[in-house]
Amino acid sequence: MSAEMAGDGASPSWAARLRAGRRERYWKTSTMLLLRDMEDLKGRELRGKIKDLIFWCDSSVADPEVIDAELFADFVDGMCRVVGNYGVIDGVAVEPALRRIIDLQESRRDTTTKLWLTLARFRSMISLEDDRREEALNAALESAPVGSALWAESVLAKAWYLNDISRYGDALRIVGRLRQAIPQELYDGYYACGADTMAGVALFTSFRDLGAARQKLTRACTFSKEADDDVQLRRWTATAHHYLGRIAEVDRDYPEALARYVQGHALQTRCPEELQSIAFIHLRMSEPLIALGYFDEAEDHLRTAAQVCSDYADYSSGRLQVQLGFATLDVAKGRTGFALQTIDATRNEARAIGYWRGELLCLGYKCAVLLRTRSVLRLVPVLLDIIMTMRGGELGRGNAARLLLRLPTVLGVAVRRMSFRPSRPLQPATTTGCPCRVHTPADAVAAGGPSA
CB 136 within 8 A of CB 156: no
C-alpha neighbours within 13 Å on the C-beta side of residue 111: 16
Q: For every one of its 452 residues, what pLDDT tens digit does the chain have, with 9 covering 90 and above?
A: 444 444 444 455 766 666 667 888 899 999 999 999 988 888 778 888 888 888 888 888 888 888 888 898 888 888 888 877 776 555 566 788 788 888 888 888 888 898 899 889 888 877 777 889 999 999 999 999 999 999 999 999 999 999 988 899 999 999 999 989 999 999 999 999 999 999 999 999 888 889 999 999 999 999 988 888 899 999 999 999 999 999 999 898 999 999 999 999 999 988 887 888 889 999 999 999 998 999 999 999 999 999 888 777 655 678 889 999 999 999 999 899 999 999 999 999 888 877 777 888 888 888 888 888 877 778 778 877 877 776 545 445 545 555 555 555 555 555 555 555 444 444 433 445 788 877 865 444 334 344 43
Contacts of 67 (CB under 8 A, 6+ apart): 27, 60, 61, 101, 104
Domain boundaries, the chain: 12-143
Residue 355 falls in which region: left (phi positive, over 0), alpha (psi -120 to 50) or beta: beta
H or E stretch covering 146: none
**Distance, CA of 347 to CA of 320 (rounded, Å):** 8
CB 201 within 8 A of CB 193: no
- pLDDT given for residue 415 in this prediction: 53
Report the chain's terminal Cα–Cα distance, integer Å.
90
Burial class from Cβ neighbours inside 10 Å (0-12, 13-18, 19+) for residue 26 reads exposed
Alpha-carbon distance values, 208 to 159, 213, 253, 332 (Å): 16, 9, 20, 30
**Distance, CA of 403 to CA of 272 (rounded, Å):** 35
| Cβ neighbours, 10 Å, residue 188 | 12
**123-144 burial by CB neighbour count: b if 16+ within 10 A, else e?**
bbbeebebeebbebbebbbebb
CB 430 within 8 A of CB 383: no
Report CA Rg, the chain. Answer: 25
- pLDDT given for residue 423 in this prediction: 43
Closest listed residue to residue 190, CA positions, set 199, 179, 200, 180: 179
C-alpha neighbours within 13 Å on the C-beta side of residue 203: 23
Residue 3 is classified by DSSP as S
Say how many residues make up the chain. 452
CB 276 within 8 A of CB 318: yes
**Distance, CA of 378 to CA of 382 (rounded, Å):** 7
Cα four-point dihedral sign 334, 340, 343, 349: negative
**Distance, CA of 160 to CA of 248 (rounded, Å):** 22
Q: What predicted TM-score, i.e. pTM, was given to this entire model?
A: 0.80
**Distance, CA of 234 to CA of 210 (rounded, Å):** 23
CB 261 within 8 A of CB 435: no
Report angle CA 301, 129, 401 to the nearest 5 degrees.
85
Contacts of 84 (CB under 8 A, 6+ apart): 125, 312
For the chain, what is the mean pLDDT?
81
Three-state DSSP state, 91: helix
**Distance, CA of 276 to CA of 261 (rounded, Å):** 15
CB 161 within 8 A of CB 137: yes
